C-alpha cells in the first residue's frame, strides 16, 4: 500500500482519484467486514478484532502494580530468573517451572513467622533444634547483651568468662592475682572448706575486717597482737582476746584430752581438792617450805607435814 499524497499543484480530479483509492484500496469497504465485527469504523474494528483474537488465541499478564501486557498468537513470553535468587525453566509439554536454586542469595531481608533449615528453627527471637543441641563449630560468639541459661557446659581444658578463667576444678583471674567474691559463700550440709593450697611465699591469710562466724559465735582477726578476739554468743562491747606473746623460739602448747576450764594466773579459788592427786606435793614443790614433824619417844621422825610458807 503506497502513501497517498495530494500536492498543492494537483487538480481537484487528482484529489478525487486519490481519495477514492484510499477508501477502496487502502481502507477497504466497511461492508466487507465479517459479520462477527460490529464496529462501523476502522479503529473500533481493529480494537474489536484484537479483543476477539485475545480471547481465542492470546492472554494477558499482570503484575502486582496492575500493569498488564497482552500476549497474542505468535508472541513470545519470556521469563528470566535472577542468579542465586530464582530459577525459571521451560520444558515440554508447555511447562514453566519456577523455583529456588540450591544456594539462595538475598540482598535485603527475609520476613517470616518461622524460618526452618534442617532441624533448626528461628521463631520470634528463639533458635531451637529438634536434635536438642546447636553447634557453632569453632566460631566465636560475641554479644553486648546477657547470656541466660540453666547451665553452661564447655569442652576442652580451659574456659574464660570475662577475666575469670576455669580450668578443671581451678578458678583464677586472668588479669590479677586476687579473685574477689563480692557476696556470701555458703557450703552445702556435710561439705568441707579446706585451706591447704597456701604457697610457701604466703605467711598468713588476711581476712581484713571481715568477721568469721560459726554456731552464733564471732571471731575477728585482731590487729597488733596477731591473735583472735572471741565475741561470744552475744555480740556486745566485751570480748575475750587470745594471742601469743612474741616467741623467742619455737613453742608448743598442748591442750589435754579432757573437758574442763583453763586455769590462769588470774584465777582465784579455782583449784579444788578433786583437782589434786594424792601425795602430789613434795618438799621441793613448795616455793617457801614449812614443815611439821611428828617424833616417837626415841626422837625418830614418824611423819613430816609440808605446808606453804607465808
pLDDT tens-digit readout, 92-127: 888 889 998 888 888 888 888 898 888 999 998 889
Half-sphere exposure at residue 299, Cβ-oriented, CA atoms within 13 angstroms: 0
**277 pLDDT above the threshold of 80:** no
Beta bridge partners, 219, equal 212, 230
- The pLDDT, as a whole number, for residue 251 is 93
pTM above 0.75, yes or no: no
- The pLDDT, as a whole number, for residue 121 is 92
- The pLDDT, as a whole number, for residue 310 is 45
**209 pLDDT above the threshold of 70:** no
Grid coordinates 499482570 are at which residue? 62
Average confidence (pLDDT) over 9-29: 80
What pLDDT, in 10s, does the model give residues 139-184?
A: 888 888 888 888 777 777 888 888 888 888 888 888 888 888 888 8
Work out the mean pLDDT of the chain and round it to a whole number: 78
Under the banding of pLDDT at 50, 70 and 90, the label for residue 254 is very high
Half-sphere exposure at residue 50, Cβ-oriented, CA atoms within 13 angstroms: 8
Strand positions, DSSP E, 8-119: 59-62, 68-71, 87-91, 95-99, 114-117
The residues spanned by each domain of the chain are 204-247, 280-308
Range with lowest mean pLDDT among 26-30, 81-85, 178-182, 278-282: 278-282
Per the rule left: phi > 0, alpha: psi between -120 and 50, beta: everything else, 74 is: left
Please state, in angstroms and as integers, the Cα–Cα distance from residue 293 to each residue in 145, 160, 263, 283, following that order: 96, 86, 33, 13
Please state, in angstroms and as integers, the Cα–Cα distance from residue 196 to each residue in 176, 192, 205, 208, following that order: 21, 12, 11, 20
What pLDDT, in 10s, does the model give residues 238-251?
A: 888 888 888 899 99
Amino acid at each position: 500500500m503506497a502513501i497517498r499524497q495530494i500536492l498543492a499543484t494537483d487538480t481537484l480530479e487528482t484529489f478525487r482519484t486519490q481519495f477514492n483509492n484510499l477508501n477502496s484500496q487502502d481502507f477497504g469497504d466497511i461492508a466487507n467486514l465479517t459479520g462477527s465485527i460490529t464496529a462501523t469504523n476502522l479503529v473500533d474494528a481493529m480494537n474489536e478484532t484484537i479483543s476477539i483474537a485475545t480471547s481465542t488465541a492470546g492472554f494477558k499478564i499482570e503484575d502486582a502494580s496492575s500493569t498488564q501486557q497482552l500476549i497474542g498468537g505468535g508472541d513470545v513470553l519470556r521469563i528470566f530468573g535472577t542468579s542465586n535468587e530464582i530459577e525459571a525453566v521451560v520444558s515440554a509439554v508447555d511447562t514453566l517451572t519456577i523455583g529456588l536454586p540450591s544456594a539462595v542469595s538475598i540482598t535485603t531481608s527475609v520476613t517470616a513467622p518461622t524460618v526452618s533449615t534442617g532441624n533448626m528453627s528461628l521463631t520470634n527471637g528463639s533458635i531451637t533444634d529438634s536434635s536438642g543441641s546447636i553447634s557453632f563449630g569453632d566460631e566465636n560468639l560475641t554479644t553486648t547483651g546477657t547470656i541466660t541459661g540453666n547451665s553452661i557446659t564447655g569442652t576442652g581444658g580451659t574456659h574464660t568468662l570475662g577475666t575469670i578463667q576455669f580450668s578443671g576444678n581451678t578458678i583464677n583471674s586472668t588479669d590479677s592475682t586476687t579473685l574477689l567474691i563480692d557476696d556470701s559463700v555458703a557450703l552445702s550440709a556435710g561439705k568441707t572448706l579446706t585451706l591447704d593450697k597456701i604457697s610457701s611465699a604466703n605467711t598468713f591469710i588476711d581476712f581484713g575486717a571481715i568477721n568469721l562466724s560459726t554456731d552464733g559465735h564471732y571471731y575477728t582477726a585482731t590487729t597488733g597482737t596477731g591473735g583472735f578476739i572471741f565475741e561470744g554468743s552475744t555480740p556486745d562491747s566485751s570480748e575475750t582476746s587470745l594471742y601469743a606473746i612474741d616467741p623467742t623460739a619455737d613453742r608448743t602448747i598442748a591442750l589435754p584430752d579432757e573437758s574442763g576450764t583453763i586455769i590462769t594466773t588470774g584465777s582465784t579459788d579455782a583449784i579444788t581438792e578433786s583437782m589434786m592427786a594424792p601425795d602430789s606435793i613434795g618438799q621441793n614443790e613448795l616455793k617457801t617450805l614449812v614443815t611439821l614433824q611428828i617424833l616417837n619417844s626415841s626422837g625418830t621422825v614418824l611423819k613430816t607435814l609440808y605446808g606453804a610458807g607465808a
